[in-house]
Structure 1
Amino acid sequence: MTEAKTAGLILICFSLLHGFVAALNCTSPTPESLLNALEKELFPKKLLRPVKRFSDTLNVTVHITVVGILGVNEKAQSLTTFIWQVMEWNIDGLSWDEKECGTKRVSIPREKLWVPDVHISEFMDEDKSPKTPYVYLYNTGRVFDDKPVRVVSSCRLEIYTFPFDFQNCSLTFGPHLHFASDIRMIQGETAAESLAESRKVLKTKGEWELADIKISPSTLEISDGTYSDIKVYLILRRRPILYVVNLLIPSCFLMTLDLFSFLLPPESVDRSAFKMTLILGYTVFLLIMNDLLPVTGDTTPLMNVLFSVSLALMVASLLETVFITNIQFSSNQYSEVPHWLSILVLRYLAVVVFLPPKEKSNRTTVCLRPPAADNAMNTSILSSRDLQSISGDTSLEKPPPELALDELRKLSRDLMAIRLQMDKHFQGTKTSQEWQMIGMVIDRLLFGLYIIFISVSFITIVSIWIWNNSLEG
């Protein structure tokens, strides 16, 4: 019994000196012979890290190929991708002769080998991808582990430039337990090679496309030790054409229609009813298209700001139309314009909107209405001679009846009142004219703000689109 233990210790020491396992000897070039050799030398050690000494570091090489971009959830701040993950590592001391054993590569069950505990740090959900039960083992001791992974990862999404946005999401590959002194992660291929391979096999043609891939080694330092990681950055670009056609173009049409509504004369057309119809249509449009807009609590997209400002301008134009209409029909009842408002609007804003104040007319208005006292006296002393002079009859005849005199006096008063009312209606008072001028200046000012807003929005959208395409190239 003692001799058996001594022989076992000698065998273990010999194995540690020459490698994790010894070279395999196959009795014949058949699968059964190779399997027997693996059962004897390798499979019993599946619980140990395949290195010669505990102080040795095992190098694990990682290759990443993106097969599909399944979706981006702005509300949950997550990215769903489908990738092929390839890991390679060496079993120290393992080898066999290709001719003696009949093959240089064999597939063996995954549970028969020690597999590094490499995971993705950004995982947010269970991996629901199909499981691959086998790995490849080469005659040089190289293990090739290729498996599909459905990754639901956390990603900080920046949607300020929606729908012309880019997203930079990282996938960090590293061991869950082993420190950098135990497992060191090695980048398997360059970022350009990984991008070319991913674009070649990418299956999805949905809203997102793969713009670029960046790969860099990194380390995570904590109080207990240091972990070795590989960071893969996936640069995603949103295809904006769907949102341009369904959101931006209809919104621009409605804004342009509201802009041209300023050409309607408020004194002859019910402009407010037209603008109210536009506001209702724009509100229904936003409610229908609300599902297409991203929802996050972090950042407000620039497009949402555009829609909000557009709706605010429409409401402001409706209020301004109500004000203008009220001035047109009720300015005679207004009190005098405040001095500061007159200076601000008629002197400064009128120049800004290219509407200089009207020059005073040189015509003199003659008031045919005599003073009240004289008017009463003249009315009371209206005689038959005056009536004869009015009628053109200069001969002295019998005066008309008193009833005719009363009727002529009433007719004279009515004609004078009508004349004064007509003059007041057509010429207007100074206060009424000032209020109407203020209304014209405000109308022209809002019209100019509309033009500026639409122009700036159009230039901004085109610039972001061009910048988006230039980054793609």
Structure 2
Amino acid sequence: MTWLGLLFVVCSLMTGTEGTLFENELLKDMFANYNPIIRPVLNASASIQVRLGAALQQIIEMDEKNQVLTVNLWMRMQWTDRNFHWDPADYGGTDTLIVPINSIWRPDIVLYTNADSGFSGMMETNAAITNTGIVYWNAPAIYTSTCKIDVSFFPFDEQRCPLKFGSWAYNGFQIDLVNRSLSGDISAYIDNGEWELIGMPVRNNIAYYLCCVAPYPDVTFTIVMRRRPLFYMFNLLVPCMLISLITVLDFYLPADSGEKVTLGITILLALIVFLLLVAETMPPTSEVVPLIGQYYLATIVLVSASTGMTVFVLYLHYRLPGTKPVPSWLRSLAFNYIARILCLSSTIKVAPAPQSPEVIENNHLSNGNVHTDKSYKTNENNISTVTLPPLVSERFQRNVNSILDELKFMTNRTKDSDVEEEILTEWKYVAMVFDRLFMWIFLITTIVTTVGILCQPKPYTLREDL
């Protein structure tokens, strides 16, 4: 090492030692008669102005079920201590003194909305004191605060969580607590995956409590944040929409498949399971119904109604033999109006209105009598041309009459079966028309309900305190 380097090291050490000596002397002079318990004021009736600020670093957790918010803040305080005042020229130019916070007086600022059982406050960091007596104390802290959650528009909600700070022992005549700025510092904020920070307005309030006559000022930092809805849309809303669309397919299932009611009940159970998942994340409140809860409830009602519609369609479709024909008013409503509106006229082959069973029976009897009369006339002609013995003629006549009766019975049975088949087919066409009508009613109602509930105006406007 050269002599020039050695000289530089010695000068540096001497300068550092001299600075340490000046600070040591300053500490002895300032703390000679100092008491950290007594308020540092010249007059006991005077108040100390404490300026409070905060910088939001991170939203650690938002517990909606317990309505608790945990955040990481950098607290910033400033006040004037009348005991500290010196001329920097007397102490080698030392204009700032760094001391432990426990060695000086400090205001007992606590979080009024604290929800932590340990009441852990700010970290015991050092404070900086200037030669004019101004004390700067910056300390990080993790606070757990109560926050009333408004889930009216969940998952498109916006929450406002106030953090109320104030002195616990000193009243407004002893400590004048004011805010350092109109908003908190969010320049170093770390983004949260679930919440988007909108702002952090600050407001100074003066409160009067029943226990005391004196006022108690406080500074309230309001953390305004908006939920990021992508997670809930992907895991809760989209599945519900898809399930609603699957319900539409229930109306396309043929009634003969026997799965229409089963599919509707399965969809209903799936919606109830998703609704239970939503209820687990929400605070148990009876004040409001969340937006997603309204949507799920409306969807469950619609799916239940679709199941009832399906039962009605199956009631029309499955008819026992011997049932009455379709009433004229229902026939006209289904085929002349609904089928034409839904463009189903080309797919339905409507037969003429069948006659009542009494008319059909009378027609059959009249036709049988005519046929019998002709047979007898034929028999009479044959008998006139063919001479048979009386006994043979009588037996032949009985056989012919028996055969004619059997033919008449079979003819009537076939005609009755055809009429019944036409009646049952017509009931099935009526069921198909109403099934398609219910499908469109369900689809339109589902779309209107989804748009009406999910597109409600949200409270996203910036308020006056922002």
TM tier, smaller? 0.7 to 0.9
What residue identity is the alignment partner of 1:444?
L
- Give, in angstroms, the shift of residue 323 of structure 1: 2.0
Does residue 161 of the first structure (1) align with residue 157 of the second (2)? no
Does residue 69 of the first structure (1) align with residue 59 of the second (2)? yes
**3-state SS in 2 of match to 1:254:** helix
Does residue 90 of the first structure (1) align with residue 80 of the second (2)? yes
CA distance in 1, matches of 2:351, 2:368: 33
What residue identity is the alignment partner of 2:304?
V
**What does residue 298 of structure 2 align with?**
309
**What does residue 228 of structure 1 align with?**
217
- Give, in angstroms, the shift of residue 146 of structure 1: 1.3
CA-based RMSD:
4.3
Moved more, 323-332 or 246-255: 323-332
Note the 1:350-365 alignment, pairs <5 A. Answer: none
**What does residue 129 of structure 2 align with?**
137
Does residue 109 of the first structure (1) align with residue 100 of the second (2)? yes
Does residue 213 of the first structure (1) align with residue 200 of the second (2)? yes
**What does residue 5 of structure 1 align with?**
none
- Give, in angstroms, the shift of residue 136 of structure 1: 1.7
**What does residue 409 of structure 2 align with?**
413
Mark the CA change 1:298 to 1:73 in structure 2 (over 3 Å): closer, same or farther: farther
**What does residue 246 of structure 1 align with?**
235
Does the 8 Å contact 1:69/1:209 carry over to 2? no
Mark the CA change 1:286 to 1:333 in structure 2 (over 3 Å): closer, same or farther: farther
Does residue 444 of the first structure (1) align with residue 462 of the second (2)? no
CA distance in 2, matches of 1:308, 1:470: 31
Does residue 47 of the first structure (1) align with residue 37 of the second (2)? yes
**3-state SS in 1 of match to 2:198:** strand
CA distance in 2, matches of 1:346, 1:365: 19
What residue identity is the alignment partner of 2:165?
F
How many residues are paired up?
428
CA distance in 2, matches of 1:253, 1:296: 28
Q: TM-score, normalised by structure 2?
A: 0.77
**What does residue 146 of structure 1 align with?**
138
- Give, in angstroms, the shift of residue 31 of structure 1: 2.5
CA distance in 2, matches of 1:393, 1:259: 72
Mark the CA change 1:387 to 1:88 in structure 2 (over 3 Å): closer, same or farther: farther
**What does residue 30 of structure 1 align with?**
22
**3-state SS in 2 of match to 1:203:** coil
Gaps of 5+ in 2: 1-17
Mark the CA change 1:427 to 1:287 in structure 2 (over 3 Å): closer, same or farther: same
- Give, in angstroms, the shift of residue 218 of structure 1: 0.9
CA distance in 1, matches of 2:452, 2:52: 45
CA distance in 2, matches of 1:385, 1:162: 90
Does the 8 Å contact 1:65/1:83 carry over to 2? yes
CA distance in 1, matches of 2:130, 2:268: 71
Does the 8 Å contact 2:123/2:139 carry over to 1? yes
Does the 8 Å contact 1:379/1:409 carry over to 2? no
Note the 1:302-341 alignment, pairs <5 A. Answer: 302-330=291-319
CA distance in 1, matches of 2:383, 2:74: 118
- Give, in angstroms, the shift of residue 252 of structure 1: 0.7
What residue identity is the alignment partner of 1:419?
K
Q: TM-score, normalised by structure 1?
A: 0.76
**What does residue 264 of structure 2 align with?**
275
CA distance in 1, matches of 2:353, 2:304: 42
Does the 8 Å contact 1:218/1:229 carry over to 2? yes
Write the deviation string for residues 321-353 of structure 1: whole angstroms up to 9, x where unpaired.
122112211277779999xxx89x969xx78x9
What residue identity is the alignment partner of 1:46?
P
- Give, in angstroms, the shift of residue 217 of structure 1: 1.2
Does the 8 Å contact 2:40/2:82 carry over to 1? yes
Mark the CA change 1:395 to 1:255 in structure 2 (over 3 Å): closer, same or farther: farther
What residue identity is the alignment partner of 2:200?
I
Write the deviation string for residues 168-216 of structure 1: whole angstroms up to 9, x where unpaired.
111112111211111111211231xx3xx31x21224221121112112
Mark the CA change 1:374 to 1:460 in structure 2 (over 3 Å): closer, same or farther: closer
Does residue 99 of the first structure (1) align with residue 86 of the second (2)? no
Does the 8 Å contact 1:355/1:441 carry over to 2? no
Gaps of 5+ in 1: 1-25
CA distance in 2, matches of 1:317, 1:393: 71
% identical equivalent positions = 21
Does residue 56 of the first structure (1) align with residue 46 of the second (2)? yes
